[in-house]
Structure formats: structure tokens, C-alpha cells
Chains A and B, each alone.
Chain A
């Protein structure tokens, strides 16, 4: 039972928290389910590698891309993956600065999810390049050809935004992990584990001097990471604004993209939290109260995203521009109307259940609603791209897009690229923050003692 002082149950002790979490990497309580998941994700990864091998051999023509729809799966999934990742940083950084204790049971695996999602996101524009082996042309190095990259191009913005986001996410995640690596190092009894955790804990001793500097650095990076998240997804929306296509120029785009990103990401975190607390019996650390708060945040983000939908449509009509209005009309009634209405239904109908306490605290219902959100946001990104691209200004250049087999195989395979590193993380590292939960528990106990 959750205490009335905070998210963690008061009958836990500091030692319980350590054992509960450190036992996952050290003893692995769910060996068989983990192995099955790993085999599944490795087969998906193999599908991905096969797909991109064929892609590199034959070129992007194997996808359903054409002119006018020359951005499809690769770019829509780039936006989608990057969006999933954003919740990890927001949970970690923004909620840390706002002093939200409940984030401490979620931040570690949410950040790991961010890193995995950003790896997938970064992969998408690279495989879309056509000649990905010239990727290094994007960097300003003194080439013998005496040319430089074009920094006025949105493609350059992607490179630097994703690279920065990936490196900052990894560093933020790692420095938060160091004290816990030391904890697991001290608990490990086998030589191999001691060396493994010993090296990555870097000799952390938990000295007050360490903590003082660590605390300042962690909070400083958190304060920098929040505007970074906003800037990265705003950059993605500006990438659309740079294209001369109707439907991509509403001024709501940057906040609408960022909120939609956080929305899908929070839903993803809820899904992972539900699976993990069930598989590793961590119900006393990721409590119903955590699910409740996550559901509330998801609901709030969803309603703000819905506002984005309304405003985007309003903006199109308000512009008075015939092409803008035609694009909105196509979204409502065109041949891709299923993606618009699908996004509306998956995104905004099931989450209405989250107004009710009983739904928020039910892992099964919350999982189903979150899945619906992730699917809905997938459809939304598809809708924004394809419904704008397939009809531009001249009827002679209208065209259709249907994803090919290789579009789907690359996408489904990429789920393996997401899941494989995440499963390895869950297996080998403390996937919930040990020391931050102890901090919460110590504070709760103190408050309870003085109450």
C-alpha cells in the first residue's frame, strides 16, 4: 500500500530497495521471459539488417517512395521515434527540477528508452539518404573536393540536433547511473560482475564532496536538457515548414510537435513500467500511485495535443489559402482520411477513460490505452506527411503512396533495433534508480515520523 506521504510504501527499508533492484542484474529473476523477448528482438533485428542490406544494394527505390511523396516511412518514423524518446528526458529532467518525487522510480528506464528510441530515430534519415555511405559529407571537414556542407539546409539541422540529443541523453543517463553502479558493485559477489560494475562505477564512493558536485552537475544538465527537448522537436517541425507544401506552415507546429512527442512518450513509459513491474515483481517500487500519476500526465498531454489538432484545422481555414483548405479537406475526406480519423480515434477516444481513478490504477487498461496512444501518434505522423505531400499545387503532379514490403520490413525490423539494447540494459544494469528512491523513502519516513 502506498503511504499518504509519497509514492513509496513506508514498510520498505533502504535495504529492501537495494535488494529489489540490484537483484535484477545480479540474479535475473525472470530468465525465461527475458530470453524469449531477446530472441524475438534479435530476429526483428535480423530482419532490419536484411532489409537495409537490400536497401543499400538497390537504393530507396525498393520503398514505395515516389515524386511527389518522397518523404514517407523513413521521415514519419523519424518523427515518431524521436517523439517517443522525449518523454524520457522530460520525466528525468523537467520533473527533477520541479521536485516531483514520483519520477524517481521511472526516470532510469525512461532515459534508457530515450537512448534506444533516439538511436532508431537517427537511423531513419541516414537510411533515407540514398547513399548513406556518404554520411560524413554532412560534417564540416576540410575535404579535398573543397566543398563544405550547407548549413542553410534542414538536413544539416537534423544531423546536429539528433547527434546532440543522443550524446546528451547518454551522458545524462550515465552520470545518474554511476552511484547505482557503485551500489551494485558493492553487492556483487562474483568476480566478473565486480570488475564490470567496478569499471563503470569509476570508483564512486558516495562521499559528501562527490554528492555536492554531482548534485549541481545533474541539476545543471537537467536544466539544459529541457530546452534541448523542446528545441529538437521544434527543429523537426521547422523542417516541415521549410518545405513548400500546403499543410506544414501553421505556427502551432513547434509546440504541437513537442506535445505530441511527449504524449506518445509518456504512453510508452507507462507501457514499459507496467511490463517491468510485472515481470520483475517491482510492484512495491513502481506502485499503482506511479501508474496513476503517469496516466494523469498522459491525459493532460493528450488534451493539449487535441488542442493542436483543433488549432491546426482552424489555422488552415483562417489562412483563406485555397491549397491549405484543400489539404484539410483531403485529410477529412481524401483517400488517406483513414490516417486522420484513425489518429483522432486512437489518440483521443480511449484516453477519456483516464478521467477515472479505477482505470488509471488498472495496469491492463492503462496498458491498452497507452498502446492506442502510441498507434494513434504513429498514424498522426503518417497523416501529416502523406496527406500534405500527395497533392501539392499542380494537379499534374499529384500522386499516391503505398508502403511497399520493404517499408514495412524496415519498420518492423527497427523495433528490434529498439528492443535489443533496451533488453540488454534491463538485464545488465540497475533499471530503476536505487539511490533516488532511497532519497524519497528517507524523506517520506521523516515526514511520517514528524506527522
Chain B
């Protein structure tokens, strides 16, 4: 029995070829696929149906609300807890409070967005089996890769390899654990 593999990695020369290949692979019924490119490929998220993911927006909104309400509460509390009366000016100076409040709203929104992003894409994760594929390093230079995972129900080593070849892949490598 041959050594188990995690999937097949096919290399393409430009982003149109990768996009076309990913479309065909989706059309063929593969679902556990991923595409790797040196820069975001336009239209790729539609092909992989990633477009309808609005989590980043919600996380950012939650962060903004947290920062805004939290800092407002802090400012109201400290002025209530230790009132400093200056010439009978109001303790709850809303216009002055909103300066700091606005900044904290932005700070928390951005912090939530960044932490949320890393959590959603599962980084930091310093090692991944793909890194041991010899040509994968080119994914950050000028090559585009389509990866079909072995756990895909439609995956069959020989047939999938032939299929990837028919898409015009420059090289096809097996990724091992």
C-alpha cells in the first residue's frame, strides 16, 4: 500500500489559468479545495463561494460598540466617583467625552478586527504540511497553485492527477504529512 497523501498540488503560470482550473474543479464536484496565489485573485472568492462571509464586519462592529460604550461608562463613572466642580461647569461634559470616546471606539474596532481576522484564518500557525512541498515556495513569487485535499469524497489519487493534468497544470505534486 502506498504511503498516505494529504492531497495534490497543481501549479499554474498565471491567475487566469488558476481561476479557470478552480472553476472546473468546482464544476467537477470537488469541495475540499484551496487556491494559493502571490496576491488576491479577483473573482476567486466567488468561485470558492467565500463571498457571503460577513464575520469581519460584525466583529469590527462589536469592537466599536464595546469601545464606545465602555469608554463612555468609564468617563461617566470617574466623574461621578470623584466630582471636580470647576465654575459650575457640568460634570458630564458630553462634547469633551466624545473626543476620547471616538478614539476608543476606533481602537477597539481595529483590535477586534485584527484579532478576529487571525482567528478566522487560523494563524499564527508556523508549520503546515504544504510548506514541505518543494515548489510551494513559489506561491509567494509568481506561481499559482490549486490544492485538492485527499479527504474530499471525490478524491482518487490517479483520477484526480489525470484531471489536474487535463487542466493544463505545469507540475503536479503529492503533499505528504
Do B126 and A164 touch across chains, with their CB atoms under 8 A apart? no
Could you jot down 28 A-B contacts, CB within 8 Å?
A: A15-B142, A18-B140, A146-B82, A148-B79, A150-B84, A152-B89, A157-B96, A160-B99, A161-B99, A163-B103, A164-B103, A186-B138, A186-B139, A186-B140, A202-B126, A207-B34, A208-B22, A208-B44, A208-B48, A208-B50, A213-B56, A213-B117, A220-B60, A224-B106, A228-B106, A438-B39, A442-B15, A446-B16
- Residues from chain A with a CB closer than 8 A to the CB of B93 are 151-152
Closest-CB distance, B78 to chain A (whole angstroms): 4
Give 1 or 0 for each of B107-137: 1 = CB within 8 Å of chain A CB.
Answer: 1011101101110110111111011000001
B residues 25-41 in Cβ contact with A at 8 Å: 34-41
A-B contact count (CB 8 A): 191
**B104 interface contact, C-beta 8 A:** yes
Do A160 and B103 touch across chains, with their CB atoms under 8 A apart? yes
Do A14 and B99 touch across chains, with their CB atoms under 8 A apart? no
Partner of B121 from the list A14, A146, A209, A438 (CB cut-off 8 Å) is: A209
**How far does the alpha carbon of A203 sit from the alpha carbon of B123 in the complex, in Å?**
7
- Residues from chain A with a CB closer than 8 A to the CB of B168 are none
Say which one of A72-80, A175-183, A310-318 lies at the interface with B: A175-183
**A447 interface contact, C-beta 8 A:** no
Q: Which residues of A contact B (CB under 8 A)?
A: 13-15, 18, 140, 146-152, 156-157, 160-161, 163-165, 167-168, 171-172, 175, 179, 182-183, 185-187, 198-199, 202-217, 220-221, 224-225, 227-228, 231-232, 235, 238, 434-436, 438-439, 442, 446
- Residues from chain B with a CB closer than 8 A to the CB of A18 are 38, 140-142
Do A156 and B117 touch across chains, with their CB atoms under 8 A apart? no
**B158 interface contact, C-beta 8 A:** no
Do B40 and A211 touch across chains, with their CB atoms under 8 A apart? yes
Do A205 and B57 touch across chains, with their CB atoms under 8 A apart? no
Q: Which residues of B contact A (CB under 8 A)?
A: 14-16, 22, 34-41, 44-45, 48, 50-51, 53, 56-57, 60, 74-75, 78-79, 81-82, 84, 86, 89, 93, 96-97, 99-100, 102-104, 106-107, 109-111, 113-114, 116-118, 120-121, 123-128, 130-131, 137-142
Do B140 and A206 touch across chains, with their CB atoms under 8 A apart? yes
- The binding surface of chain A is classed by DSSP as helix
**How far does the alpha carbon of A451 sit from the alpha carbon of B96 in the complex, in Å?**
56
**Given A18-B142, A235-B99, is A209 in contact with B74 using a C-beta cutoff of 8 Å?**
no
**How far does the alpha carbon of A186 sit from the alpha carbon of B139 in the complex, in Å?**
9
Complex: chain A residue closest to B79, CB-CB: A151
- Residues from chain B with a CB closer than 8 A to the CB of A167 are 107, 110-111
**How far does the alpha carbon of A224 sit from the alpha carbon of B107 in the complex, in Å?**
9
**How far does the alpha carbon of A356 sit from the alpha carbon of B45 in the complex, in Å?**
44
| Closest CB pairs A-B (n = 9) | A148-B78, A14-B142, A202-B124, A186-B137, A211-B40, A183-B140, A217-B117, A208-B35, A164-B103
Q: Which of A148, A171, A213, A225 has the most CB of B within 10 A?
A: A213
**Given A164-B106, A183-B38, A207-B34, is A13 in contact with B142 using a C-beta cutoff of 8 Å?**
yes
**How far does the alpha carbon of A70 sit from the alpha carbon of B38 in the complex, in Å?**
54
**Given A183-B140, A213-B56, is A435 in contact with B107 using a C-beta cutoff of 8 Å?**
no
- Residues from chain B with a CB closer than 8 A to the CB of A224 are 60, 106, 109-110, 113
Closest-CB distance, B133 to chain A (whole angstroms): 11
Complex: chain A residue closest to B118, CB-CB: A202
**How far does the alpha carbon of A149 sit from the alpha carbon of B104 in the complex, in Å?**
16
Complex: chain A residue closest to B126, CB-CB: A203
- Residues from chain B with a CB closer than 8 A to the CB of A183 are 38, 140-141
Do B39 and A212 touch across chains, with their CB atoms under 8 A apart? no
Do B104 and A164 touch across chains, with their CB atoms under 8 A apart? yes
Known contacts A168-B107, A172-B110, A439-B40; 10 additional CB pairs below 8 A are: A146-B82, A157-B100, A160-B99, A183-B141, A209-B50, A211-B39, A213-B120, A217-B116, A224-B106, A438-B38
- Residues from chain A with a CB closer than 8 A to the CB of B138 are 186
Partner of B36 from the list A148, A161, A207 (CB cut-off 8 Å) is: A207
Do A14 and B38 touch across chains, with their CB atoms under 8 A apart? yes
- Residues from chain B with a CB closer than 8 A to the CB of A161 are 99-100, 103
Partner of A205 from the list B102, B103, B130 (CB cut-off 8 Å) is: B130
Complex: chain B residue closest to A148, CB-CB: B78
**Given A152-B96, A182-B140, is A208 in contact with B103 using a C-beta cutoff of 8 Å?**
no
- Residues from chain A with a CB closer than 8 A to the CB of B16 are 446
**Given A221-B110, A439-B40, is A209 in contact with B48 using a C-beta cutoff of 8 Å?**
yes
